């Protein structure tokens, strides 16, 4: 099945699911929520369980397990820049991501909540408006690997503010902001063993309009990378800035300098209404194109190549044959006589085999008689000697 057909089936399935949920008497719809996101900065929206539990109804469902699912309205999946994370049915969910400049506009996301105890459902529509960042994208960005945290633990606002304060202690700047949060599993890391204290790891990207501090430059220098490859500590003097809340893997520190791409002036859109007394002037018609040369080249060149190949093949097959007469002239008379005698003997043997009327050899008869088939006696046989078996029954 091709990709467009598969996508169409997914869309139809999503629409059918939405229609079935709308007609389900146990389904509840929460009020629409409008959110805003900026390019160059992380977007996080926490899906709290309490509004959906109230929509389910009943005080006995206060601790019910709730599972969240999200997709674009009318589509089977989320945008590429948006992810949904939920550690378990008893934990809240998070919609997070970093919208690129190509995703400017409005995105309508439908969130579905499933009560895994009563099988009730509730939905909420989120209208996410993506706009450009007022200050532009931060040109200096540092990516840290936090080894003692999962991605759900760094998505809440309080955890991100604490990480920014720790980053400001080594960067010594006040315009820091979190630009991206990514789980280490999405970067190819392995899932940790189910042991207490083991975490997946989180990549946190922090950006600023100010240059990097000497501590960050020293930690990401080639000399520091060489020490990390030898199993030694990198060259940096700011190890305790994030402790004890965040365990930074300094050997995985990455410094990025983002060069802003120049954007040309966009088109100037008018009101769409002509001024009074101004006549409409349609755009001039496009000049007709001469397609005959292109047609001739496309048609005649392959035909000429095919004709040349046919002539070459005909010359090799017809004009370069030796012939039977030339072969006989180049062959000695003894070889021709020997070859002719072989052909004559073979022809004579075939004629003799066609006129042969002799009894069938005993070696071609079966050794044991066939019990199932009737066997005539020796008196009724035309050739009793030829049809008698080798061993008597």
Higher-confidence residue: 322 or 165? 165
Sorting pLDDT into bands at 50, 70 and 90, what band is 22? very low
CB burial readout 301-316, b (16+ within 10 A) else e:
eeeeeeeeeeeeeeee
Higher-confidence residue: 323 or 376? 323
pLDDT at 266: 53
Contact at 8 Å (CB) between 251 and 223? no
pLDDT at 269: 59
Tokens representing 32 are 């629409």
* pTM for this entry: 0.59
CATH 3.10.450.40 fits 10-134, yes or no: no
For the chain, domain boundaries: 10-134, 138-259
Burial of 147 (0-12, 13-18, 19+ CB in 10 A): middle
Higher-confidence residue: 10 or 134? 134
Residue-wise pLDDT tens digits, 182-232: 999 988 888 888 787 788 899 999 998 888 888 888 888 888 888 888 888
pLDDT at 118 over 80: yes
Residue-wise pLDDT tens digits, 213-222: 888 888 888 8
Which residue is listed with tokens 């044991």? 368
Contact at 8 Å (CB) between 26 and 120? yes
Sorting pLDDT into bands at 50, 70 and 90, what band is 386? very low
pLDDT at 158 over 50: yes
Sorting pLDDT into bands at 50, 70 and 90, what band is 272? low
pLDDT at 340: 86
CA angle 127, 130, 133 (to 5 degrees): 145
Q: How long a stretch of residues is the chain? A: 393
């Amino acid at each position: 099945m091709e990709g467009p057909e598969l996508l169409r089936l997914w869309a139809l399935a999503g629409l059918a699911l939405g229609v079935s949920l709308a007609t389900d008497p146990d389904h509840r719809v929460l009020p629409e929520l409008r959110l805003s996101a900026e390019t160059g900065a992380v977007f996080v929206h926490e899906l709290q369980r309490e509004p959906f539990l109230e929509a389910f109804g009943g005080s006995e469902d206060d601790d019910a397990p709730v599972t969240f699912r999200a997709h674009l309205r009318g589509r089977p999946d989320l945008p590429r820049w948006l992810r949904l994370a939920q550690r378990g049915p008893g934990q809240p969910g998070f919609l997070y991501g970093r919208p690129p400049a190509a995703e400017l506009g409005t995105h309508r996301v439908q969130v579905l909540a499933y009560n895994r105890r009563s099988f009730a459902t509730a939905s909420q529509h989120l209208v996410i408006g993506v706009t450009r960042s007022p200050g532009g994208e931060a040109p200096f960005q540092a990516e840290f690997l936090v080894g003692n945290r999962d991605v759900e633990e760094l998505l809440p606002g309080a955890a991100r503010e604490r990480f920014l304060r720790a980053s400001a202690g080594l960067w010594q700047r006040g315009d820091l902001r979190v630009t991206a949060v990514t789980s280490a599993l999405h970067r190819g890391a392995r899932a940790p063993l189910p042991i207490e204290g083991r975490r997946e790891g989180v990549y946190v990207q922090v950006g600023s309009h100010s240059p990097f501090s000497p501590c960050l430059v020293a930690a990401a220098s080639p000399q520091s990378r060489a020490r990390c490859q030898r199993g030694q500590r990198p060259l940096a003097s700011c190890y305790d800035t994030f402790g004890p809340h965040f365990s930074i893997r300094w050997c995985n520190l990455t410094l990025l300098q983002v060069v802003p791409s120049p954007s040309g002036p966009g088109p100037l859109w008018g009101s769409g209404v002509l001024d009074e007394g101004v006549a409409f002037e349609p755009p001039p018609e496009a000049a007709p194109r001469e397609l005959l040369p292109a047609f001739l080249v496309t048609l005649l060149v392959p035909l000429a190549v095919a004709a040349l190949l046919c002539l070459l093949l005909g010359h090799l097959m017809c004009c370069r044959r030796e012939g039977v007469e030339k072969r006989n002239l180049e062959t000695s008379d003894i070889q021709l006589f020997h070859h002719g005698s072989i052909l004559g003997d073979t022809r004579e043997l075939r004629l003799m085999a066609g006129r042969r009327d002799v009894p069938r050899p005993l070696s071609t008869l079966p050794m044991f008689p066939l019990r199932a088939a009737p066997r005539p006696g020796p008196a009724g046989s035309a050739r009793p000697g030829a049809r008698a078996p080798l061993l008597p029954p």
